[in-house]
Chain A
């Protein structure tokens, strides 16, 4: 933390704060369990409850619908009337065209193959980045020797965006496929590494002392105390890393790819299949969303204790 690398990827508080909202509640505590009254309630009372619940959630649902509805309506109007005032909607596909193309692609094996390839690359690159990022992060955070020897290299490489590596990666790796995975890996590696280091440095020292008093030696301390204590920060890094991984992957696929959803989108442009561009973009967005959702879910499964702070589970 002190002589720390510039931690511009780290947004610890803000990002960890959002885990709790989705967490599995741990068993409620020490409060006597409330008797299950719902089954014995008279009908009108149940109705009242439903009404209260509806009143609480309705404004949110309404506003979300309105927001999305307006966006699509604007899109529709702009494409229908060929808006051409600085921004040009002349070649932009309309929502209807996009929908019908999407409906066709649902039956296309090639499309699924493209999606599968992208997911595979993400999974490989991100998993390797997690392993190495967390591993190196723990070592660099904890041991001065590792810090002194490894950090300078990482600090020099870090400011280079993953996409800038494309030509070099093509020369480095035996196949196009490996270089795309490498680019994806690079994108997510640094945020994971830096947040892990940050996590190690913010471990409460009293926990380390407690661990050592209880007989934990070097490796046990790293694995049993420092790693779990740093886990919330690590997951911040994973969330950011997943975002950067998608950015890097799509760029790499557009530049040097064969197959993949980024390649599909770029190919649609070359082949003047304009509606497919939008389908590609939407699918990229959905896959990215699903991946960060997956990380968040994993976080709540692995860190059930984090949610207790905010849920007020104390007796």
Chain B
């Protein structure tokens, strides 16, 4: 798989090899990820899309080093990702800024952990915040920022330690549509500038097409890779990209793949008699809406 973007960075190669993750023991065990193999090339932007509960977050958490694999292996540049570290920046769906630190000190946190001295830290943080258009807010507390700004700070904070990869778990899920689009553009800009690999999880088909070099579609739980769709659209991509025939063809293909799996996911839960027994509560109306 060849990255459409820059070839300059040589690090940031994620390899997921026959990964299987099971939670719990014996009869109550839940298989969240089942035999997933995939890769992110250095500098590549890869998205994973799939129905709710299919194991996307679990997969990302194995890469991040929070969840151990039950079988198989995940490596970053050849090294097993068995514990979290600053070589993998992570951006969460929930706001995860430290509420007791100013924006600038949030961004400095990773550098402080590396033992960088104060003046250097401060100027690094200022540079990064400038890139994200947040210079005027460096002394604010997170509570004082809008949702979009908080996620921008979250991205900047994750980039501060110069990680090889950025792991993002539905980072824009809580934002409104307009803010989302702006955030996608900012993220693309930062990604191109830092020449970093990105593994991005989303529910949103348009988002995955707009951002990615490649999209993996996962099956309903237990999650497997169902398809791998390259996105050869030229960059820079603009809102107009979304009305080209190429774009629409990709979108069509992705939508069919995903709605199949979503229905399967819902059906499975209905059959299990598990309405409400799972982590997501799907009432009968919810299913009807989907169909």
Contact = CB atoms under 8 A, between A and B. Distances in A.
B45 to A, nearest CB: 19
Contact of A213 (B100, B139, B158): B158
Given A214-B110, A215-B110, A305-B141, A207 B64 contact: no
Given A214-B157, A229-B100, A313 B144 contact: yes
Given A209-B92, A210-B90, A215-B161, A314 B145 contact: yes
Contacts of A220: 113
Interface stretch (B80-88, B225-233, B250-258): B80-88
A231 B100 contact: yes
A303 B141 CA distance: 11
Contact of A209 (B90, B109, B110, B146): B90
A60 interface: no
A26 interface: yes
B88 A213 contact: yes
A212 interface: yes
B72 interface: no
Interface residues of B, number: 32
A213 B64 contact: yes
Given A215-B113, A216-B113, A29 B140 contact: yes
A309 interface: yes
Interface in A221-236: 224-225, 228-229, 231
Nearest to B142: A305
A211 B85 CA distance: 10
Nearest to A216: B113
Contacts of B157: 210, 214
Contacts of A209: 64, 66, 84, 90, 92, 96
B98 interface: yes
B99 interface: yes
A296 to B, nearest CB: 18
A224 to B, nearest CB: 8
Nearest to B109: A214
Nearest to A314: B144
A30 B113 CA distance: 30
Contact of B139 (A27, A217, A231): A27
A155 B20 CA distance: 42
A228 B98 contact: yes
B244 interface: no
B143 interface: yes
A305 B100 contact: yes
A315 interface: yes
Contacts of A26: 141, 144
B144 A315 contact: yes
A225 B113 CA distance: 12
B150 to A, nearest CB: 11
A7 B96 CA distance: 28
A225 B161 CA distance: 18
Contacts of B66: 209, 212
B92 A210 contact: yes
A36 B49 CA distance: 53
Contacts of B143: 305, 308-309, 313-314
A57 interface: no
B145 A213 contact: no
A29 B99 CA distance: 16
B141 A308 contact: yes
Nearest to B61: A209
B178 interface: no
B270 to A, nearest CB: 31
B55 interface: no
30 contacts: A29-B144, A204-B94, A204-B96, A207-B96, A207-B98, A209-B84, A209-B92, A209-B96, A210-B157, A211-B98, A211-B109, A212-B84, A213-B84, A213-B85, A213-B90, A213-B158, A214-B157, A214-B161, A215-B86, A215-B110, A217-B113, A228-B101, A231-B100, A305-B99, A305-B141, A305-B143, A313-B144, A314-B146, A315-B144, A315-B146
Interface of A: 26-27, 29-30, 204, 206-207, 209-217, 220, 224-225, 228-229, 231, 303-305, 308-309, 313-315
Closest 4 CB pairs of A and B: A215-B86, A214-B110, A215-B113, A308-B143
Given A206-B96, A210-B92, A214-B161, 8 more contacts: A207-B96, A209-B92, A213-B89, A213-B158, A228-B101, A231-B100, A313-B141, A315-B144
